[in-house]
Amino acid sequence: MAGGGGAERARPGGLLPPACRQPRRRVSSGTAGGTGLDPFYASIILFVGRAWDAITDPMVGFFISKTSWTRFGRLMPWIIFSTPFAVISYFLIWFVPDISRGQVMWYLVFYCIFQTLVTCFHVPYSALTMFISREQSERDSATAYRMTVEVLGTVLGTAIQGQIVGNVVTPCIESPLFIGKTNSSVAMEELNMTHDTGSLTDTRNAYMIAAGVIGGLYILCAVILSVGVREKRESSELRSDEPVSFFQGLKLVMNHGAYIKLIAGFLFTSLAFMLLEGNFALFCTYTLGFRNEFQNILLAIMLSATLTIPLWQWFLTRFGKKTAVYVGMSSAIPFLIMVAVLDSNLIITYIVAVAAGISVAAAFLLPWSMLPDVIDDFKLQHPNSHGHEAIFFSFYVFFTKFTSGVSLGISTLSLDFAGYQTRGCSQPSEVNFTLKMLVSAVPVALILLGLLLFKLYPIDEEKRRKNKKALQDLREESNSSSESDNTELASIV
């Protein structure tokens, strides 16, 4: 379902509002003269939005776990009621208000509202995996389908936004404009003063049209999801009405060793691929010199990821999930080294893009495929504690977003320190070297570190089979006990 996951995954790159794009992208304003929002304020908006996100993820997960069952289920009402408001807020963060003051507050408020509403969608949407079946194979299959369509949704959103906004030509700035400028904002202001007002209007309109189209797709996907998926209360086994406080649930979840080890391993591998995705466009544009090709190269990455998710689903079924992690993550390493070491070559760049997409598919699929196994393990260790699935998924979403924020911070600080020139036609050699590090050396080191940490993850295929059998025995024992109680009750009556 692209409505939730697609928008969520796109935030580090193409589908963010102009105020929150990296690194230091420009936000057109509606003031006279067409001045832009200072990159410092854009950074503040992004930082506050991420901090607010850190609060909403676990809180929404807890509130979902305390939600009563309705005729639509426990999770679906959150998805249904958050969708229209999320679409409205998404459109408003692309809208440029015609005010001279208060733009920062406008973008900050609606960005935080959008973050909250997407969390209200994405956490229950992710947790649905545990509520549609109790069979591990069926949940793995559902996860594979979900991630395939999420990546496809990201491709579609990137293509829509790229085609609509890309038709508005925004010229780059020749480097002499920056000579003697110690503050890139000064140069940006000079450019905006000379930039054609009509071009700014076209750019604003293009972003709003793209936002409207993507918002329509969001609603369509939410409707398909709500109509086509039904929660099964018996498969979730959340029948306990005993209240569990937020801190009690949080303590239980965070003390589960398998969960912490899974997060630790994927925290570093996810950071590696987010750094690659977040900087690959700049790397292609400036370091490799493929300014007119980077959109196609990014699409090659995402299409490769979309097409290979079913392959990884077959692989993890055939060889096991831990083996799939080692093979999937490490397969990108030689290609990342190749693109940094060899001279600029378009064919090699496309080969690296396809190879990176294959590993990105593994990075998308495997964490979500392994999380239900961790929850099953938790149920066996805490058979009398129920209703924590949403907390597991909400914190997993939080750590994913946290990794995205760390990636954004590393990229922005590194490029600013190297002397990145906003919208420059070329960049200093220090920037090109930094981009090489951000898409090659740093991701490789993070992948290797993540794989080393992943050695500590205790749930292999043998443990997974034992857990499956133990859960089946536990359910049969519970069903037998329920039938016995019903028989005794009937005899008394």
At 231-250, the pLDDT tens digits run 876 544 444 445 556 677 77
| SS3 of residue 184 by DSSP | helix
User: Which residue stretches of 320-388 are H helix?
Assistant: 321-330, 333-341, 346-381
pLDDT at 114: 93
Tokens coding 276: 């690659």
Instruction: Please confirm whether the linkage preceding 23 is cis (ω < 30° from 0).
Output: yes
Task: Give the DSSP H or E segment for 439.
Answer: none
Residue/partner pairs of 400-405 with CB below 8 Å, 24 or more apart:
400/270, 401/50, 401/53, 401/54, 401/57, 402/50, 402/54, 403/267, 403/270, 403/271, 403/274, 404/11, 404/12, 404/274, 405/46, 405/50, 405/53
Checking if the pLDDT of 82 tops 90, the result is yes
Checking if the pLDDT of 462 tops 80, the result is yes
Q: Are 297 and 284 in contact (CB under 8 A)?
A: yes
pTM of the predicted model, to two decimals? 0.74
Contacts of 232 by beta carbon, 8 Å cutoff, 6+ apart: 131, 132, 133
Q: Which domains does the chain have, with CATH numbers?
A: 36-171+198-232 (1.20.1250.20), 245-459 (1.20.1250.20)
Largest CA distance in the chain: 93
**What is the distance between the alpha carbons of residues 66 and 88, in angstroms, rounded to a whole number?**
27
pLDDT at 170: 62
pLDDT at 17: 35
Looking at per-residue confidence, does 78 or 193 come out higher? Answer: 78
Checking if the pLDDT of 115 tops 60, the result is yes
**What is the distance between the alpha carbons of residues 448 and 429, in angstroms, rounded to a whole number?**
28
Checking if the pLDDT of 85 tops 90, the result is yes
pLDDT at 3: 41
Cα radius of gyration (the chain): 24
Checking if the pLDDT of 113 tops 90, the result is yes
Backbone angles phi, psi at 102, to 5 degrees: 95, 5
**What is the distance between the alpha carbons of residues 175 and 428, in angstroms, rounded to a whole number?**
9
Where residue 433 falls among pLDDT bands split at 50, 70, 90?
A: very high
Contacts of 440 by beta carbon, 8 Å cutoff, 6+ apart: 336, 337, 339, 340
pLDDT at 11: 36
Where residue 295 falls among pLDDT bands split at 50, 70, 90?
A: confident
Where residue 10 falls among pLDDT bands split at 50, 70, 90?
A: very low
Q: Which DSSP state fits 74?
A: S
Question: Which of 36-45, 109-118, 321-330, 463-472 bottoms out in mean pLDDT, i.e. has the lowest?
Answer: 36-45
For residue 250, the one-letter residue type is L
Question: Which of 222-226, 263-267, 404-408 bottoms out in mean pLDDT, i.e. has the lowest?
Answer: 404-408
pLDDT at 182: 46
pLDDT at 90: 92
**What is the distance between the alpha carbons of residues 24 and 38, in angstroms, rounded to a whole number?**
9
Where residue 451 falls among pLDDT bands split at 50, 70, 90?
A: very high
Where residue 223 falls among pLDDT bands split at 50, 70, 90?
A: very high
Question: Which of 57-61, 109-113, 266-270, 459-463 bottoms out in mean pLDDT, i.e. has the lowest?
Answer: 57-61
| SS3 of residue 231 by DSSP | coil
Tokens coding 167: 């038709």
Question: Which of 194-203, 273-282, 339-348 bottoms out in mean pLDDT, i.e. has the lowest?
Answer: 194-203
**What is the distance between the alpha carbons of residues 392 and 254, in angstroms, rounded to a whole number?**
9
List beta partners, residue 28: 36
**What is the distance between the alpha carbons of residues 298 and 461, in angstroms, rounded to a whole number?**
35
**Letter string b/e over residues 292-302, b meaning 16 or more CB atoms within 10 A of that residue's CB:** ebbbebbbbbb
DSSP string covering 91-130, please?
HHTT---S-SS-HHHHHHHHHHHHHHHHHHHHHHHHHGGG
pLDDT at 134: 75
Q: Are 431 and 286 in contact (CB under 8 A)?
A: yes
Percent of the chain with pLDDT over 90: 17
Checking if the pLDDT of 292 tops 60, the result is yes
| SS3 of residue 438 by DSSP | helix
Question: Which of 149-158, 211-220, 319-328 bottoms out in mean pLDDT, i.e. has the lowest?
Answer: 149-158
Checking if the pLDDT of 274 tops 50, the result is yes
Where residue 13 falls among pLDDT bands split at 50, 70, 90?
A: very low
pLDDT at 231: 83
Q: Are 126 and 391 in contact (CB under 8 A)?
A: no
Where residue 403 falls among pLDDT bands split at 50, 70, 90?
A: confident
Checking if the pLDDT of 181 tops 50, the result is no
Checking if the pLDDT of 318 tops 70, the result is yes
Q: Please state, in angstroms and as integers, the Cα–Cα distance from residue 490 to each residue in 75, 482, 483, following that order.
A: 34, 12, 10
Contacts of 453 by beta carbon, 8 Å cutoff, 6+ apart: 261, 264, 265, 268
Where residue 480 falls among pLDDT bands split at 50, 70, 90?
A: low
User: Which residue stretches of 382-460 are H helix?
Assistant: 389-418, 429-436, 442-454
C-alpha triplet 125, 126, 132: angle, nearest 5°? 80
Checking if the pLDDT of 192 tops 60, the result is no
Where residue 88 falls among pLDDT bands split at 50, 70, 90?
A: very high
- Residue range 464-480: average pLDDT? 77
> What is the per-residue pLDDT across 362-400, written as a single tens digit (0 to 9) for each?
888 888 889 889 988 888 887 776 667 777 888 888 888
Checking if the pLDDT of 207 tops 80, the result is yes
pLDDT at 434: 92
Checking if the pLDDT of 486 tops 60, the result is no
